Structures are given as C-alpha cells and as structure tokens.
Homo-oligomer: A and B are copies of this chain.
Amino acid sequence: MSLAIKSIKSLVPLLDRVLVQRIKAEAKTTGGIFLPESSVKELNEAKVLAVGPGALDREGKRLAMSVKAGDKVLIPTFGGTKITVAEEDFSIFRDHELLAKISE
C-alpha cells in the first residue's frame, strides 16, 4: 500500500489500530563483521509510533489500548497491513494482535 504523504507522523490510527515500524536486525555480527543483506533475518520486534483512541464497546465507550507510542512490541508473523511512506515500511495492527510488550 503506497501513500503520497511526506511523513509517517501524518498518520493517526483509527479505533484500536496501532502503527508500528519493525526494528531492523543489525547487519553485522557481534564480532563486528558486516553480514550480506540476504543473511539478515527479519525480526518480529517493532516500535509503536502511534495508537488509535481504542475500539468502542457495546455502549459506545472506548476500550483501553494495551500499548502506547514509544513502546517496543512483539508482532505476529502474519497479519497486519503493510504501508510504505517515503520509501520506509510500516505496519498497522489491531491492538489485540500484538503479542507482548518488550521492556528493556
């Protein structure tokens, strides 16, 4: 999915959606040797850039979101909507699809 917007900061997720960006695996070994791109594994860790206001329950109240902007999260291998802004890749997930928060 391609967008014409200049900055990802223009995107404000709706309902219980969460905008994330995958964290890139380091392209060098712990010993400092750079790895060829093809041997870099795609990680399931992502940084939360923005969150929606929450889904509506049956009485029209917002359900609390599990994460907030700045959180690091574990995302599932499948699902989510991939978007590209200014040649960078991002994903949108529903709050309940995120598996875990990563504390550091």
Contact = CB atoms under 8 A, between A and B. Distances in A.
A4 B3 CA distance: 30
Copies held by the complex: 7
Contacts of A41: 2
Contact of A100 (B12, B23, B60): B12
A65 B104 CA distance: 25
Contact of A45 (B4, B13, B96): B4
A57 interface: yes
A3 B99 contact: no
Nearest first, the 9 A-B pairs at minimum CB distance are: A12-B101, A11-B100, A14-B66, A1-B44, A13-B100, A10-B102, A2-B41, A57-B58, A10-B103
